Amino acid sequence: MGDPNVRYGGTTLRPIAIVIEVLVLMGVIYCLFLAARLTILDVGFQSKYDRFLRWTLGIVGAMISAFFVAHLTLFYPKLLP
């Protein structure tokens, strides 16, 4: 039949797929956080809160990225049986 690693992409494809998926998800989250920051600053908060907002959204973004990495590495479907 052939080598099953060639047919399914092997175990080297799984980490690459996880990295690509995390990058795409973090790009979407970054866009949402940037829109939230601009909305908060546009609604009436002064620029003196901009540093606090950057730190807060940065910390929340790091927590979300850790969540994505942990869950994708644990629950990502295995390519080989």
Total-model pTM:
0.66
12, containing H or E segment: none
pLDDT at position 11, please? 66
3, containing H or E segment: none
Mean pLDDT for 26-54 is 84
pLDDT at position 63, please? 92
Per-residue pLDDT tens over the stretch 48-76? 777 888 898 889 989 988 898 888 877 76
Residue scoring higher pLDDT (46 or 4):
46
Which residue, chain included where needed, has tokens 């920051």? 37
Which residue, chain included where needed, has tokens 């942990």? 70
Distance CA 34, CA 28 (A): 10
76, containing H or E segment: none
Joined together, the tokens standing for residue 37 give 């920051």
